[in-house]
Structure 1
Amino acid sequence: MSADRPEELGAFRERVREWCRTEIPADWRQAQTGVGGAEFVAFQQDWFQRLRRAGFAVPHWPAEYGGGMSVAQQIVLYQELAAHDAPRLVLAFVSVHHAAATLLGAGTPEQRRRHLPAILDGEIWVQGFSEPGAGSDLAALRTAARREGGEFVVTGQKVWASGAQYADWCLLLARTDPEAPKRRGISYFLLDMRSPGIEVRPIRQATGDAHFCEIFLDEVRIPAENLIGAENKGWQVAQQTLGAERGLTMLELAERLGHAGFRWLVEEARAHGDPVVDDRLAALEIELTGLRALCRDLVERHEAGTAGPADASVVKLFYSELLQRMTDFGAELGAVGAHTVLRKPMSGGWESGAWVLDFVGSWEWTIPGGTSEIQRTIIGERGLGLPREPVVSS
């Protein structure tokens, strides 16, 4: 089927709409608010398999692994899932995007055969990149791996690892050559989270959630066949992993913000009947329209190979800071309204309608994947060709 033809794309949109009407649980937000970890995992796994049976779980994967949708179809799919307020694939996000992109881009045939079907069956992955003192400056990581025969022995600490308490496998960066320049001595591993020597500690956040975790590694042994890419060349592989945050993942988030999030904001504003409120609402709607158009344009140009080196940074910066402005406005409007609640649904996103919690949570979006300051530096240097920032030696 050629989804680029308007009539076929329209038929595909109608099929997705009908599926959404029958398959999205009507009360999932209420049912997922305040649940424990086991209930959250069970719901997420069930939702993933519903999407899988429909062919909607991994549309961006190659056809031989269960994907194969055109970019136009993927855009329609995410638009309709957002419009119908579908749950997010919170638990499988790293698995279907970061792990899959890494395996497809740098994995061996055996690694792909082992893990891609397992991800479709529900294998959960976590990203073990950031460390205390090596977050935005990821290349400063200090987790060390030394080779002993057919194994690597790893000791160190990771932090801000989303969903680590539920994970089966970890995408792990560790330093294998302490004498090399910091970007050249890093290797990339596939780590079985059931290995001896691993301790996971959830981090309680200001919103009450605990989806971030610390991972402690004490003499953890990783078979050499779990090295992905060449030894000491992990930095290059990591760029493929981080690249999975671009494009369609941002499109999905932008569409969700523009649909459910904005609808609730309009409902909150109606109770005020204030022209100043209406004016701010109109300004936000203009920004949301621009964000959604930017995301669609980025996806199309990325597929065509014409995306610029800083375009993804523009989208990430715009989304994260618009999210803050929008949730801040919602918190102002809803401070005495019905949406001032103390919990938000586990399977939702950053647009739950619990405005105070949404606003507090929105600040994390200006940090992961590169802080707003880093995004502006990338835009200036790579996008506008400005002089590079001076490197300050410690």
Structure 2
Amino acid sequence: MPTPETDLDDFRSAVQEWCRQHVPAGWRKAQTGVPDEEYIAFQQWWFAQLREAGYAVPHWPARWGGGMPLAQQAVLYQELAAHDAPRLVLAFVAIHHAAATLLEAGTEEQRARHLPAILDGEIWAQGFSEPEAGSDLASLRTTARPDGDRYIVTGQKLWASGAAYADWCLLLARTDPAARKRDGISYFLLDMRTPGIDVRPIQNAVGESHFCEIFLNDVAVPAANLVGAENTGWRVAQATLGAERGLTMLELAERLGNAGFRWLVEACERLGLLTDSLTADRLAGFETELTGLRALCRNLVERHESGRAGPADASIVKLYYSELLQRMTGFGAEITGLPAHALLHKPASSGWESGAWMLDYIGSWEWTIPGGTSEIQRNIIAERGLGLPREASA
């Protein structure tokens, strides 16, 4: 009789064979420095390949095309990383943030409209941060004024990844200016083709423009696109995005622990540094930390699925991953020297550990700042996780 272990071995063999047949050879070189049109086409093609195999949204419920057991999800991400498969960068917000929001707080009509569309390639962005509401997100000033069966939205969003390509956007806006700042926010699904929306890409430090500003000038949003009750948007955002973060981290931890660490070791070997005791000590330290990260991510997802996740668990994982990513890519930039500093482009469909170490290191700051800085995460861990007194407000 097959055991769970043999079933898992069979699944691993099936994923390995699929990767050998479907992961495109030379995709990193082909995706380096490409125009937006080629990047989008490649990402949509790769998403379709994964969807056909049942590997695109394994974390979704079975009803919507997922239902893969957690142990198999871990194996899937391990093998995709081991075979250097492209990442679903363009679909990231859709399959994680948007899906988690809809499954947790959306109506049945909203789920039926958008979840199948996401599987067909619908692209999403996230409209949360603003020029003066980043880490202090509850200070957002974008307003949504009720007007019959719709809301009129006016304001500005910042650091919206992929907004230039997005069909839809997860939007937080203030619907009750008189309420406490966290109590007067509502959560909307915004059709990016609506009149009054102006999207402007922002070029970052490595020359990429996946971050965008979104300007909203009297944009009409149907009341049917409200997620949850009016003025409960803060709770919707915290519940859904905190929950999904653990699921995204399961994949990212495997990417960093497999391909990222392997390339770091290969770089040291190429430079003749593996016999250096200081280098060996650094690598051993990273390997130990990566083992802890993988276990932490797996534990978080298991606790979430069983309803035992703590209020600070997602912050712990985010803090651990982002700072480890920064240390590892910084070490890669340190040992590879000037040749790594001269690289101007990295593969468009790679993760944060592409092997272009200086670009990866600069990009790693995207993890320690957006989504709540490391300082904010430590406050959450202290206050919500450990029950320490709240930090005094100004």
Regarding TM over 0.5, the answer is: yes
Letter of the structure 2 residue corresponding to residue 376 of structure 1? R
- Aligned residue for 2:82? 83
Identity %: 73
How many residue pairs end up in the alignment?
390
Q: Deviation at 1:385?
A: 2.0
Residue by residue over 1:48-88, the C-alpha shift from the partner in whole angstroms, topping out at 9 and shown as x without a partner, is 00000000111111111111111111111111111111111
2:344 to 320, 342, 345: 342
SS of residue matched to 2:164: helix
- Aligned residue for 2:255? 256
- Aligned residue for 1:369? 371
SS of residue matched to 1:202: strand
Counterpart CA distance in 2 for 1:302 and 1:217 is 35
SS of residue matched to 1:306: coil
Q: Say which is worse superposed, 124-133 or 100-109, in terms of deviation.
A: 100-109
RMSD: 1.4
Letter of the structure 2 residue corresponding to residue 361 of structure 1? G
Q: Deviation at 1:244?
A: 4.3
Confirm or deny: 8 A CA contact 2:12 2:79 kept in the other structure: yes
Counterpart CA distance in 2 for 1:112 and 1:301 is 25
- In the TM superposition, 1:1-394 aligns within 5 A as 5-270=4-269, 271-273=271-273, 274-337=276-339, 340-392=342-394
Q: Deviation at 1:340?
A: 4.8
SS of residue matched to 1:51: helix
Residue by residue over 1:281-320, the C-alpha shift from the partner in whole angstroms, topping out at 9 and shown as x without a partner, is 2211111121112112222222222233222211111111
SS of residue matched to 1:189: strand
Confirm or deny: 8 A CA contact 1:340 1:354 kept in the other structure: no
TM-score for the superposition, normalised by structure 1: 0.96
Counterpart CA distance in 1 for 2:381 and 2:149 is 43
Extract unaligned runs of 5+ from structure 2. Answer: none
Letter of the structure 2 residue corresponding to residue 358 of structure 1? D
Letter of the structure 2 residue corresponding to residue 246 of structure 1? R
Counterpart CA distance in 2 for 1:150 and 1:170 is 20
Counterpart CA distance in 1 for 2:251 and 2:342 is 26
Counterpart CA distance in 1 for 2:304 and 2:114 is 26
Confirm or deny: 8 A CA contact 2:100 2:241 kept in the other structure: no
Confirm or deny: 8 A CA contact 2:100 2:244 kept in the other structure: no
Confirm or deny: 8 A CA contact 1:171 1:188 kept in the other structure: yes
Q: Deviation at 1:251?
A: 1.4
Confirm or deny: 8 A CA contact 1:163 1:213 kept in the other structure: yes
Confirm or deny: 8 A CA contact 1:242 1:369 kept in the other structure: no
Counterpart CA distance in 1 for 2:222 and 2:307 is 36
Counterpart CA distance in 2 for 1:34 and 1:242 is 32
Counterpart CA distance in 2 for 1:167 and 1:7 is 42
Counterpart CA distance in 2 for 1:173 and 1:152 is 12
Residue by residue over 1:188-245, the C-alpha shift from the partner in whole angstroms, topping out at 9 and shown as x without a partner, is 1111100111000001000111110000000111111111111111111112332244
Counterpart CA distance in 2 for 1:341 and 1:88 is 21
Q: Deviation at 1:275?
A: 2.3
Counterpart CA distance in 2 for 1:338 and 1:388 is 43
Counterpart CA distance in 1 for 2:119 and 2:159 is 25
Counterpart CA distance in 1 for 2:184 and 2:130 is 16
Confirm or deny: 8 A CA contact 1:145 1:154 kept in the other structure: yes
Counterpart CA distance in 2 for 1:92 and 1:162 is 11
Confirm or deny: 8 A CA contact 2:333 2:340 kept in the other structure: no
Letter of the structure 2 residue corresponding to residue 138 of structure 1? L
Q: Deviation at 1:338?
A: 6.4
Confirm or deny: 8 A CA contact 1:98 1:244 kept in the other structure: no
Counterpart CA distance in 1 for 2:361 and 2:81 is 20
SS of residue matched to 2:66: coil
Q: Deviation at 1:334?
A: 0.9
**Residues 308, 151 of structure 1: alpha-carbon distance in 2 compared, 3 angstrom cutoff:** closer
Counterpart CA distance in 1 for 2:77 and 2:342 is 28
TM-score for the superposition, normalised by structure 2: 0.96
Counterpart CA distance in 2 for 1:11 and 1:117 is 29
SS of residue matched to 1:247: helix
